[in-house]
Structure 1
Amino acid sequence: MPLSLGLRDEENERINNILNKLMELAYVPEGWLKDEAQPLLTQLGLSYESIDAMTGDELNAHVTKLHFDFANMERLADMLAANPAFKDKAIALYNFIQVESKMFSFDIFNKINALSK
């Protein structure tokens, strides 16, 4: 069922807040902090293990089901890109954004190229 505009804004703000906290954990000098990230991932219906087990298409379907907007999808992909184990998931999500948003982004294109090397 589609969300109304007000509920969609609230949901995007909630997702944005969770992603902000995850981004803080992803970019600390020690790298990915799995134990600290797990409770935040759970709020997004994810876990370290579920992300690892998902295909790129399954991750794309999951974030679509949770009503992520394209900006939050990109932030999640940025966070995944910080962990070498999730590089392929990040690339899949960036590609999904490029296709589904129907707007070409040089920034995302450059992120894909950097991860593909």
Structure 2
Amino acid sequence: MLNKGLRDQEKIRIDNVLKTLHSLVFVPEKAFDQDQIEEALKDFGLNIESLVSISTNDLIVLLERLHLDWDQLEQFADFLINFSKENQFNFKEKAISIYNYIQTESKTFSFGIFNKIAATKAKLNEK
């Protein structure tokens, strides 16, 4: 377990990586800069190719080992959804699994996450 100071530093580092990832996929009408996304994912020990090939369970274990809290896990799942929108990659199933993991393991029901799961499943059924 990390002590309070290290835990705070780690939280700040993870938050900064997540902000970078979100800023790269929330750019309207602009192609994602995959090189920048790859660079940001390196902080999680990932790249786009490994994100495609990693199993959902292994991804969740990796994110746990990186000490992502519930909010950060949700932000990572949000990133996966947004990265899937205008891209050849489809990470929606992995995002749904992360949302379900949060609902189950946090022992707190969130209507926000419940709605994200429903919306993502609806998008999956459209295609």
Q: Are positions 1:7 and 2:12 aligned together? A: no
Of all paired residues, the percent bearing the same amino acid is: 42
Letter in 2 for 1:113: A
Question: Per chain length, whose mean CA-contact separation is higher, i.e. which structure has more relative contact order (CA < 8 Å, sep 6+)?
Answer: 1
Deviations 1:58-109 (A, max 9, x none): 1110100111111111110000011231111111111111111110000000
Shift of 1:9: 1.3
The corresponding residue for 1:101 is 106
The corresponding residue for 1:116 is 121
Give the direction of change, closer, same or farther, for the CA distance of 1:32–1:55 in structure 2 (3 Å limit). farther
Structure 1 CA distance for aligned equivalents of residues 52 and 73 of structure 2: 17
User: How many residues of Structure 1 are paired with residues of Structure 2 in the alignment?
Assistant: 116
TM-score (norm 1): 0.94
Aligned partners of 1:77 and 1:91 also within 8 Å = yes
Aligned partners of 1:32 and 1:82 also within 8 Å = no
Within-5 A mapping of 1:7-86: 7-29=6-28, 30=30, 32-84=32-84, 85-86=90-91
SS of residue paired to 2:91: helix
Letter in 2 for 1:99: T
Shift of 1:32: 3.7
Give the direction of change, closer, same or farther, for the CA distance of 1:41–1:93 in structure 2 (3 Å limit). same
Shift of 1:33: 2.9
Structure 2 CA distance for aligned equivalents of residues 6 and 103 of structure 1: 26
Shift of 1:53: 0.6
Tell me how large the CA RMSD over aligned residues is: 1.1
Give the direction of change, closer, same or farther, for the CA distance of 1:76–1:4 in structure 2 (3 Å limit). same
TM-score (norm 2): 0.87
Where structure 2 has 5 or more consecutive residues not aligned to the other structure, the ranges are 85-89, 123-127
Structure 1 CA distance for aligned equivalents of residues 20 and 119 of structure 2: 24
Q: Are positions 1:92 and 2:61 aligned together? A: no
